[in-house]
Amino acid sequence: MPFLNYSSVLGIQKDTHLVGQQYSWLSSVFYFGYLVANYPASLGFVKLPLAKFLSVSIIIWAVILGCHGAGQSFAGLCVLRILLGMAESTVSPGFSLLTGIWYKPSEHAWRHGIWFLGNGIANTFGGLLAYGIAHITGSFATWRWLFIIFGLITLFWGILLFFLLPDTPLTARFLNPRERMIADRRPQKIQHSFKNNEWSHAQFCEALKDPKSWLIALLIGVASITNGVISNFGSLIVKSFGYNEFDTILLGMPSGGFQIASVLVATYSASRIRKSRIIIIIIGYIFALLGILLVKELPTENKIGRLFGYWMMILFSSAFPLMLSLIASNTAGFTKKATVNAMFFISYCAGNIGGPQLFKSAEAPSYPTAYNGCIACMCVSIAIAIVLRQYMDWENRRRDKQQGVYIDPEPKHVDDVGDLDLTAERIVYTDWENPDFRYYL
């Protein structure tokens, strides 16, 4: 949720005496923590019970978030932001790995979209709650209440997950023994990427040698520069159109609706239209690019047009769950998948560290550096996405030619429960080791 974003219009800068680029650095240092903890988190996913590790991280995250309400200075907030980033480094990678364990490759896009909807819901209903909190009167600053209340809500949810979320299908208490076996084997009939607690050095090295690992990491890194601007400075962008702090919070809420709609449409379409995931990613980036151009180029008196452009900028976020689904569907071997996830999120952090530095307070209210940087990043992201798709398509055709047989990478009917051999050994292959593996596009 964009807590720092909301707090920027509720007085955090004045109350904690932030000057110059210090607010931008509060946005960036979060990802330093995320970056430092990312690789240890990937080891934890392999070595520890996945759902328990994830739930404890969420509980710790909630406590740290609530402590933001006691922040008094730039230095204190920096420490809290770094710790918050470290705790959050498990969340999206963990949910993505859980999705890969429970669902077939053909289902990954839609399921990633469902849990990623939390971001859009947070923007919408979180904005409504933030609007209510903004009207609290008293000596205790409203932005402090914002962090404390949302911290308590998240703490409750983390405790609930700890007791209810199973680590794997084999530990799901709501399934009977046969259903557990089916749920465990069904997603892995093609991938052979079962959860295990042994770290494979060979799979780790294979992930580093795989061109698609670097391409998707580069893609999210460049795109995340734009994310670093929008997610942390969205409220300031809307406020720069000439709205007061209350109207700014309310007018930021539709961005959550745009995000929800775009994620639903993008991930559902990707699950129904074959070979469409990367094409849909590109379409989302094109819409975001148009939105940035509207905000930058429309005259300042055209508030409505610029506001609509801001809402369009949010559409780029629909690409995020689709990129995670590409990793889940196209990477086999649990250590390799955890490693590629780590590469992805390290690059994600790098982009989000750099993005806020484009937003220079001295350039308010036009912020030309931020908008020009976002335009360039969207253009480069589109180019990288095209290269990634062409590479995986070429690899599929190369394997077909090598084997002398065409294997449909995205068949309409696969993994029927009736075809599962529940007594077969749980053998793990990577996508490089399995000659029948084909990549989702």
107-111, 284-288, 358-362, range with the lowest pLDDT? 358-362
* Confidence band of 124 (pLDDT split at 50, 70, 90): confident
State residue 189's pLDDT score.
Answer: 65
Residue bearing tokens 């809307």 = 238
How do residues 309-359 score in pLDDT, each as one tens digit? 999 999 999 999 999 999 999 998 889 998 999 999 999 999 999 998 998
Query: Percent of the chain having pLDDT more than 70?
Result: 94
Q: Which CATH architecture has domain 3-168+198-408?
A: Up-down Bundle (1.20)
Mean pLDDT of the chain: 90
State residue 365's pLDDT score.
Answer: 85
In this prediction, residues 166-192 reach a mean pLDDT of 85
State residue 62's pLDDT score.
Answer: 97
> Measured between alpha carbons, how far is 92 from 110 in angstroms, rounded to an integer?
15
- For helices 22-47 and 74-88, angle between their N-to-C axes, nearest 10 degrees: 30
How do residues 131-161 score in pLDDT, each as one tens digit? 888 888 888 889 999 999 999 999 999 999 9
* Confidence band of 122 (pLDDT split at 50, 70, 90): confident
The answer to whether 42 and 34 have CB atoms below 8 angstroms apart is no
* Confidence band of 191 (pLDDT split at 50, 70, 90): low
* Confidence band of 83 (pLDDT split at 50, 70, 90): very high
In terms of residues, how long is the chain?
A: 441
Say if residue 412's pLDDT is above 80. no
In this prediction, residues 94-102 reach a mean pLDDT of 91
> Measured between alpha carbons, how far is 92 from 129 in angstroms, rounded to an integer?
24
Q: What pTM did the predictor assign? A: 0.90
Say if residue 27's pLDDT is above 90. no
State residue 123's pLDDT score.
Answer: 80
Domain-wise residue ranges, the chain:
3-168+198-408
Count Cβ neighbours within 10 Å for each residue of 146-183 and write b for 16 or more, e otherwise: bbbbbbebbbeebeebeeebbbbbeebeebeeeebbeb
* Confidence band of 126 (pLDDT split at 50, 70, 90): confident
Query: Percent of the chain having pLDDT more than 90?
Result: 65
* Confidence band of 64 (pLDDT split at 50, 70, 90): very high
> What does 278-305 look like in DSSP terms, one character per residue?
HHHHHHHHHHHHHHHHHHHHS-TT-HHH
How do residues 274-321 score in pLDDT, each as one tens digit? 999 999 999 999 999 999 999 999 999 999 999 999 999 999 999 999
Say if residue 5's pLDDT is above 80. no
C-alpha distances in angstroms, 336 versus 199, 340, 429?
9, 6, 10
State residue 138's pLDDT score.
Answer: 81
State residue 253's pLDDT score.
Answer: 86
The answer to whether 9 and 249 have CB atoms below 8 angstroms apart is yes
* Confidence band of 197 (pLDDT split at 50, 70, 90): confident
> Measured between alpha carbons, how far is 294 from 305 in angstroms, rounded to an integer?
7
Say if residue 121's pLDDT is above 60. yes
State residue 131's pLDDT score.
Answer: 85
Dihedral sign for Cα 91, 92, 95, 98, please. Answer: negative
Say if residue 413's pLDDT is above 70. no
In this prediction, residues 373-386 reach a mean pLDDT of 98
State residue 215's pLDDT score.
Answer: 98
State residue 374's pLDDT score.
Answer: 97
Stronger pLDDT, 188 or 134, i.e. the higher one:
134
C-alpha distances in angstroms, 164 versus 93, 157, 172?
19, 10, 9
In this prediction, residues 174-194 reach a mean pLDDT of 79
In this prediction, residues 235-258 reach a mean pLDDT of 88
Stronger pLDDT, 173 or 119, i.e. the higher one:
173
State residue 39's pLDDT score.
Answer: 86
* Confidence band of 183 (pLDDT split at 50, 70, 90): confident
